[in-house]
Structure 1
Amino acid sequence: MIDFAWMRRLLASCLLLFAGQAFANDQCPTLSQRQSDPQVATRIAAIACDEHLRWNRPFIDADGRLASLNAYEAEANGLKDGGSPWRRVAFYWQASGLLSPMGFKPGASDCGHAALNLAYPGLGCRGFVIDNPWSAAFISWVMQRAGVPGFRSSASHFDYVRAARMDGAGSPYRFMEPMSAKLETGDMLCYVRTGRVYGHDGLLKAIDGSTTSLAMHCDLIVAIADGKAYAVGGNVQQAVTMRIFNLNAQGQLWGVPRRSDGDVECSPETAAACNFNRQDWAAVLKLKPQAELAKIGPVEPPSFLPSAPVAPTCCVNCVVGSGVPRCPAPGQVVPQAPQPDAPLQGSE
């Protein structure tokens, strides 16, 4: 007689063992403790990993399936530390130095104070976070916090992808074909986000031509382990999300689906075509070795890592009782807020 209860227990044990082994491959819990590491590449990975943990570790598996997601950019709470996802995104914008250049966008002027003051409703900022792609702001914040020499923050991935191609001496990255590059910690894997399929050759032509703007997305490679690459990106399914990719014996992407002309659209009738990793992968930005980075600028860990954005001196969409004065009309002098006695330290 077959003991079905015993078989069920055995199957459950096997599944738990498999899940435990797959889970153990994630290097982020350990890496997140190394944000002041002497190696630039390690600092990049550690900071990105720490944010991934903060967002409760959502991930897309190697088969392109969204396996976990429980915090979204628009929510008022849900981060591991109890924080607000949309306020955290506002912090990326502010701390990366990209909020001021976005000041012409509705709600942007609200974000500095909204990220700092939890009692401030910040409805305009919440709208700004939802309406504006923030993946490049996330990358820029990680690079700034990691002290990557020569990296120029931008709200557009295309700017630093183009810099890696056009400014070989000044950029901390080298522009490479994605499927032939050996992926390593600190690299970026990038795709084009348009209806047209560019591929590596098309992106090259766009950069070398007159193109000044192109919608793109980049993820940071945070770890290589057991034949897989682990990448973390911002604004991936509205969160800081990890992707997992298969690698071959040479450390190159293996079996990763790429968009092509005439692809079948993902739908309930064509489920086999549904894969979150099927993108127009067009470039790898290869982080230069530490010795080469040192020729661009200092590679030591930053002595001060800002923990919170600086409160704005005025607001446009003001809230009664917030204590923040209304911004004056153009041409008038903006009142200066008193400076704190000492900078904030630690982690937010």
Structure 2
Amino acid sequence: MPVVAAAAQIANEEWDFFGKQEIDINGKTIRRGRKETDEGFWQRVGQYWMDGTGKNLTGENDDFPWSAAFISFVMRKAGAGDRFRYSAQHSVYIRHAVKARERGDEKYGFWGYALADSPIKVGDLVCYARQPGISVSTQSSNYKSHVDLVVEVTLGKALVIGGNVGNSVTRKAIELNSTGHLIDNTQPWFAVLSHRFDNA
């Protein structure tokens, strides 16, 4: 199965496993799922940590955000191989994708863009900052952020899935404009990591 299709399928399966927690386009939680510390679910978070980043943590280690471990798990299971920079920090692979675009690296699986510079498609990663002053031109690869995987795109809306959102695997709707660019204002979005797996 192609990487993009596999990633979307894996993310949807994990969302289903966690009870389909969902946030609507206004940022409101409309369905609650299972939590990271629930029996049978903290162990699954442990799989994300181990398979995604090689770290021996679980959902019971709730002082450690696992959202980047979730994305790393999905990309590794989907077969991204050495075309993704697996990390426990989103900022590491965000910066890597921006640098890949800047140097024209055709082999890396993602190129990082500002929101206005790349329309959203299934398989892309969308990024928001969890601290002030972060943009696609930030040179550091050490800052607080969050990333979701785009699993569906329709007119004016995309559905994205991420880990450790409300202590669960959560799907949310985000607003797009008529050209498919991210304009959602429920989070401080700043970057799109546009996948290049079809360009391999």
TM-score norm. by structure 1 comes to: 0.53
Which protein has greater RCO, CA pairs closer than 8 Å, 6+ apart? 2
Residues 51-88 of structure 1 show CA distances to partners (whole Å, capped at 9, x for unaligned) of: 11111111110011011113111111xxxxxxx11111
One-letter identity of the residue aligned with 1:61: D
Q: Percent identity?
A: 32
CA 1:167–1:246: 2 relative to 1, 3 Å = closer
Q: Distance in 1 between matches of 2:196 and 2:179?
A: 19
* Equivalent residue number for residue 233 of structure 1: 162
| Residues 167/252 of structure 1: CA separation in 2 closer, same or farther (3 Å cut) | closer
Q: Given the alignment of the two structures, is residue 162 of structure 1 paired with residue 95 of structure 2, yes or no?
A: yes
Q: CA deviation at 1:171?
A: 2.2
- For residue 37 of structure 2, what is the amino acid of its counterpart? A
- Asked if residue 186 in structure 1 is aligned to residue 123 in structure 2, the reply is yes
Q: Does the 8 Å CA contact 2:51/2:73 hold for their aligned counterparts?
A: yes
Moved over 6 A (4+): none
Q: Structure 1: any 5+ residue segments left out of the alignment?
A: 1-36, 77-83, 100-107, 112-124, 258-277, 295-348
- Local SS of the residue matching 1:143: helix
Q: Tell whether the 8 Å contact from 1:58 to 1:69 is kept in structure 2 after alignment.
A: yes
Partner Cα separation in structure 1 for residue 162 and residue 59 of structure 2: 20
> Could you tell me which residue of structure 2 aligns to residue 95 of structure 1?
51
**Unpaired segments of 5 or more residues in structure 2?**
none
Retained in 1: the 8 A contact 2:41–2:59?
no
Equivalent residues, number: 195
User: Larger deviation: 146-155 or 228-237?
Assistant: 146-155
Residue 183 (structure 2) pairs with residue 246 (structure 1) = no
Give the Cα separation in 2 of the matches to 1:252 and 1:135. Answer: 23
The 1:284–1:126 alpha-carbon spacing in structure 2 relative to 1, beyond 3 Å, is closer
Residue 252 of structure 1 aligns to which amino acid in structure 2? H
TM-score (norm 2): 0.90
Q: Distance in 1 between matches of 2:60 and 2:43?
A: 11
Going from structure 1 to structure 2, the CA distance change for 1:249 and 1:126 (only over 3 Å counts) comes to closer
Cα RMSD between the aligned structures? 1.7
What does residue 31 of structure 1 align with?
A: none
CA contact (8 A) 1:197 1:280 kept: no
Aligned to 1:34: none
User: Which structure has the larger Rg over C-alpha atoms?
Assistant: 1
Partner-residue secondary structure (3-state), 1:222: strand
